[in-house]
Protein backbone atom coordinates (compact mmCIF):
# COMPACT_ATOMS: atom_id res chain seq x y z
CA UNK A 1 0.00 0.00 0.00
CA UNK A 2 2.87 2.36 0.76
CA UNK A 3 4.16 2.30 -2.81
CA UNK A 4 0.68 3.10 -4.11
CA UNK A 5 0.83 6.31 -2.10
CA UNK A 6 4.05 7.18 -3.94
CA UNK A 7 2.39 6.42 -7.30
CA UNK A 8 -0.59 8.63 -6.45
CA UNK A 9 1.68 11.40 -5.15
CA UNK A 10 3.87 11.33 -8.27
CA UNK A 11 0.88 11.47 -10.59
CA UNK A 12 -0.79 14.23 -8.58
CA UNK A 13 2.40 16.31 -8.54
CA UNK A 14 2.35 16.38 -12.34
CA UNK A 15 -0.77 18.57 -12.11
CA UNK A 16 0.84 21.12 -9.80
CA UNK A 17 2.86 24.05 -11.18
CA UNK A 18 6.47 23.02 -11.78
CA UNK A 19 9.43 23.70 -14.03
CA UNK A 20 9.19 21.92 -17.37
CA UNK A 21 10.01 18.21 -16.89
CA UNK A 22 10.86 18.67 -13.20
CA UNK A 23 8.54 15.90 -12.00
CA UNK A 24 8.77 12.75 -9.85
CA UNK A 25 7.83 10.36 -12.67
CA UNK A 26 11.23 8.66 -13.04
CA UNK A 27 11.66 8.47 -9.26
CA UNK A 28 8.29 6.79 -8.92
CA UNK A 29 9.10 4.26 -11.66
CA UNK A 30 12.44 3.43 -10.02
CA UNK A 31 10.83 3.00 -6.60
CA UNK A 32 8.03 0.90 -8.08
CA UNK A 33 10.54 -1.39 -9.81
CA UNK A 34 12.48 -1.74 -6.57
CA UNK A 35 9.50 -2.41 -4.29
CA UNK A 36 6.50 -3.73 -6.22
CA UNK A 37 5.84 -7.29 -7.25
CA UNK A 38 6.40 -7.57 -11.01
CA UNK A 39 2.78 -8.60 -11.58
CA UNK A 40 1.67 -5.21 -10.18
CA UNK A 41 4.00 -3.01 -12.23
CA UNK A 42 1.19 -2.25 -14.66
CA UNK A 43 -0.28 0.07 -11.98
CA UNK A 44 2.28 2.92 -12.28
CA UNK A 45 2.31 2.61 -16.08
CA UNK A 46 -1.49 2.84 -16.33
CA UNK A 47 -1.50 5.72 -13.82
CA UNK A 48 1.03 7.62 -15.94
CA UNK A 49 -0.86 6.92 -19.14
CA UNK A 50 -4.13 8.10 -17.58
CA UNK A 51 -2.48 11.24 -16.25
CA UNK A 52 -0.98 11.91 -19.72
CA UNK A 53 -4.50 11.76 -21.18
CA UNK A 54 -5.81 14.07 -18.45
CA UNK A 55 -2.94 16.53 -18.81
CA UNK A 56 -3.37 16.66 -22.58
CA UNK A 57 -7.11 17.16 -22.26
CA UNK A 58 -7.42 19.57 -19.33
CA UNK A 59 -4.06 21.29 -18.95
CA UNK A 60 -2.39 21.46 -22.36
CA UNK A 61 -5.63 21.40 -24.39
CA UNK A 62 -3.89 19.36 -27.05
CA UNK A 63 -4.61 15.91 -28.38
CA UNK A 64 -1.98 13.33 -27.74
CA UNK A 65 -0.17 12.26 -30.87
CA UNK A 66 2.02 9.44 -32.03
CA UNK A 67 4.85 10.89 -29.96
CA UNK A 68 2.86 9.94 -26.84
CA UNK A 69 3.52 6.27 -27.64
CA UNK A 70 7.24 6.99 -27.53
CA UNK A 71 6.78 8.54 -24.09
CA UNK A 72 4.96 5.43 -22.90
CA UNK A 73 7.65 3.24 -24.41
CA UNK A 74 10.22 5.31 -22.50
CA UNK A 75 8.31 4.63 -19.26
CA UNK A 76 8.54 0.90 -20.00
CA UNK A 77 12.25 1.10 -20.85
CA UNK A 78 12.94 2.96 -17.58
CA UNK A 79 10.96 0.37 -15.66
CA UNK A 80 12.88 -2.47 -17.34
CA UNK A 81 16.22 -0.77 -16.62
CA UNK A 82 15.24 -0.27 -12.98
CA UNK A 83 14.17 -3.91 -12.65
CA UNK A 84 17.55 -5.00 -13.98
CA UNK A 85 19.63 -2.57 -11.95
CA UNK A 86 17.75 -2.22 -8.67
CA UNK A 87 15.53 -5.23 -8.05
CA UNK A 88 16.96 -7.65 -5.52
CA UNK A 89 20.23 -5.76 -5.21
CA UNK A 90 21.79 -3.90 -2.36
CA UNK A 91 21.19 -0.23 -2.99
CA UNK A 92 23.95 2.28 -2.69
CA UNK A 93 24.00 5.93 -3.62
CA UNK A 94 26.18 5.21 -6.67
CA UNK A 95 23.90 2.51 -8.09
CA UNK A 96 20.79 4.58 -7.46
CA UNK A 97 22.29 7.78 -8.90
CA UNK A 98 23.67 5.92 -11.94
CA UNK A 99 20.33 4.26 -12.62
CA UNK A 100 18.57 7.60 -12.24
CA UNK A 101 20.88 9.39 -14.70
CA UNK A 102 20.65 6.50 -17.16
CA UNK A 103 16.85 6.58 -16.86
CA UNK A 104 16.74 10.34 -17.41
CA UNK A 105 18.96 10.00 -20.46
CA UNK A 106 16.99 7.11 -21.96
CA UNK A 107 13.73 8.95 -21.40
CA UNK A 108 15.19 12.06 -23.06
CA UNK A 109 16.46 10.12 -26.08
CA UNK A 110 13.33 8.05 -26.64
CA UNK A 111 10.76 10.79 -26.04
CA UNK A 112 12.57 13.37 -28.15
CA UNK A 113 13.12 10.86 -30.93
CA UNK A 114 9.33 10.44 -30.82
CA UNK A 115 8.84 14.20 -31.09
CA UNK A 116 11.13 14.27 -34.11
CA UNK A 117 9.68 11.24 -35.90
CA UNK A 118 6.00 11.82 -35.13
CA UNK A 119 5.66 15.57 -34.97
CA UNK A 120 5.88 18.24 -37.59
CA UNK A 121 8.22 20.53 -35.68
CA UNK A 122 11.46 19.34 -37.25
CA UNK A 123 12.37 18.05 -40.69
CA UNK A 124 12.93 14.31 -40.80
CA UNK A 125 16.60 14.66 -41.55
CA UNK A 126 19.74 14.13 -39.46
CA UNK A 127 19.90 17.89 -39.09
CA UNK A 128 16.29 17.97 -37.90
CA UNK A 129 17.01 15.26 -35.34
CA UNK A 130 20.08 17.14 -34.13
CA UNK A 131 18.02 20.33 -33.82
CA UNK A 132 15.30 18.48 -31.92
CA UNK A 133 17.79 17.09 -29.39
CA UNK A 134 19.68 20.37 -29.12
CA UNK A 135 16.55 22.39 -28.39
CA UNK A 136 15.45 19.80 -25.82
CA UNK A 137 18.65 20.04 -23.73
CA UNK A 138 17.18 22.59 -21.27
CA UNK A 139 14.28 20.20 -20.67
CA UNK A 140 16.76 17.37 -20.09
CA UNK A 141 18.62 19.46 -17.52
CA UNK A 142 15.39 20.07 -15.60
CA UNK A 143 14.39 16.42 -15.91
CA UNK A 144 17.75 15.05 -14.75
CA UNK A 145 17.90 17.40 -11.77
CA UNK A 146 14.30 16.66 -10.83
CA UNK A 147 14.86 12.93 -11.26
CA UNK A 148 17.89 12.98 -8.97
CA UNK A 149 16.17 15.12 -6.36
CA UNK A 150 12.91 13.17 -6.35
CA UNK A 151 14.66 9.79 -6.44
CA UNK A 152 16.69 10.73 -3.38
CA UNK A 153 13.56 12.03 -1.66
CA UNK A 154 11.35 9.07 -2.58
CA UNK A 155 13.89 6.39 -1.66
CA UNK A 156 14.89 8.28 1.48
CA UNK A 157 11.28 8.69 2.57
CA UNK A 158 10.57 5.06 1.73
CA UNK A 159 13.54 3.93 3.87
CA UNK A 160 12.42 6.15 6.75
CA UNK A 161 8.90 4.78 6.58
CA UNK A 162 10.25 1.22 6.52
CA UNK A 163 12.33 1.94 9.62
CA UNK A 164 9.33 3.52 11.34
CA UNK A 165 7.19 0.47 10.57
CA UNK A 166 9.88 -1.87 11.92
CA UNK A 167 10.25 0.19 15.09
CA UNK A 168 6.48 0.29 15.55
CA UNK A 169 6.20 -3.47 15.03
CA UNK A 170 9.00 -4.10 17.56
CA UNK A 171 7.33 -1.90 20.19
Alpha-carbon torsion (17, 22, 27, 32), positive or negative: positive
pLDDT of residue 65: 87
**Single pTM value for the model:** 0.94
Residue 161: which residues within 8 A CB-CB, separation 6 or more? 2
Domains in the chain: boundaries:
2-14+21-170
Quick: pLDDT tens for 90-119.
Answer: 899 999 999 999 999 999 999 999 999 998
Residues in the chain with pLDDT values less than 50: none
Q: Are 3 and 124 in contact (CB under 8 A)?
A: no
Q: Which long-range contacts (CB under 8 A, 24 or more apart) does 138-143 make?
A: 138/20, 139/20, 139/21, 139/108, 140/21, 140/104, 140/105, 140/108, 142/19, 142/20, 142/21, 142/22, 143/21, 143/22, 143/23, 143/26, 143/104, 143/107, 143/108
Q: What is the pLDDT of residue 171?
A: 82
pLDDT tens-digit map of 142-161: 999 999 999 999 999 999 99
| CA nearest to 115, candidates 60, 167, 59, 74 | 74
CATH fold for the domain made of 2-14+21-170: Arp2/3 complex 21 kDa subunit ARPC3 (1.10.1760)
Amino acid sequence: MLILAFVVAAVAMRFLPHLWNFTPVIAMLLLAAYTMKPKHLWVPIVALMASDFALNLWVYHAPGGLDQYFTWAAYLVVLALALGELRGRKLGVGRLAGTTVASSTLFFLISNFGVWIAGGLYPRTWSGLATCFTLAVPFYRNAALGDLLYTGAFFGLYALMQQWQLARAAA
